[in-house]
Amino acid sequence: MKVKICGITNIDDALLCINEGADALGLIFAPESPRCIDLHKAGRIVSMIPRHIIKIGVFVNKEASAVNEISNDVGLDAVQLHGDESSAYTGQINKPVIKAFRVNDIFDFSILESYKECSFLLDSYSAHSNGGSGIPFNWEIIPKDIRQKIILAGGISQYNLEAIYKNIRPAAIDLSSSLESSPGIKDYKKVKDFFKVLRKIKDE
């Protein structure tokens, strides 16, 4: 189970997460997000991150040509789409695509079948934002045949990590707000404690 830490806005937070064991970092390019980062700063952070760490850009309903341009300029490895992007849209993206879906109790999982050659991230539905709510959805409704293929997001923290690892076992988990002291700023102790719990669970 890989770990992606999203909402990175500075190099100190990036290196903290990497040193503790993060496999991927997320940089948000959605202006409506309090964790949005400008292109110059994002490029500097990416240039200082080891190559084996996956750098993912998060976009919401942005022109495909702009997404491709930003991805190339910043040096991203993959693109995460958190808006209403269609399956046709994802085919226009030059980098590997992670398509995010906001899930509630009536979510139709058959929608995923129309998206080809994408990885899927399942996040909590919110009427007020496209992600980063910090609230979990009912993970038990995820079909068992896709659980180990998806990236799980939404209210993940050290306190529900064991249940996720034992009952869902997704390919990866995506965290942001639960590791922050304020939006866009990671909390040193929370990051340390989270990875300490994760290592303990994996060693059991």
Number of domains in the chain: 1
Indicate whether 129 pLDDT > 90.
no
pLDDT of 61 = 96
Indicate whether 142 pLDDT > 90.
yes
Residue 80 sits in which domain range? 2-203
Indicate whether 131 pLDDT > 80.
no
Q: Which residues are catalytic?
A: 6, 123
Give the mean pLDDT of 131-158. 89
Q: How confident is the model at residue 184 (pLDDT cuts 50, 70, 90)?
A: very high
CATH code of the domain covering residue 83: 3.20.20.70
pLDDT of 204 = 80
Report the percent of the chain where pLDDT is more than 90: 91
Q: Print burial letters for 156-194: b (CB count within 10 Å at least 16), e (below 16).
A: bbbeebeebbeebebebbbbbbbbbeeebebbeebbeeb
